[in-house]
């Protein structure tokens, strides 16, 4: 845990999920993913593109959306 109470691993994971969902659902991220002052968009994009087709299509679209 960091002094602020949230581990860097959790923070990075949540930022990646936000990036992935915005990219798949809306076609582009809503903002640049910056962690500890470093733009990590290239890293996130590489990881998302390396994910399997099933994860990109069904995995991210299968969450129920509130109406």
Domain ranges of the chain: 8-60
One DSSP character per residue, 11-33 reads: HHHHHHHHHHHHHHHHSS-SS--
pLDDT of 26: 83
Prediction pTM value:
0.66
pLDDT in tens, 30-55: 888 888 899 998 988 888 877 766 66
The contacts of residue 30 (CB under 8 Å, 6+ apart) are: 18, 22
Assess whether pLDDT exceeds 70 at residue 60: no
pLDDT of 57: 62
Helix (H) or strand (E) holding 38: strand 38-39
The SS3 assignment for 54 reads helix
């Amino acid at each position: 845990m960091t002094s602020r109470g949230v581990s860097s691993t959790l923070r990075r994971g949540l930022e990646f999920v936000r990036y992935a969902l915005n990219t798949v659902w809306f076609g582009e991220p809503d903002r640049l993913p910056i962690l500890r002052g470093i733009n990590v968009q290239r890293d996130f994009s590489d990881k998302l593109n390396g994910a399997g087709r099933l994860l990109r299509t069904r995995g991210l679209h299968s969450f129920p959306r509130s109406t």
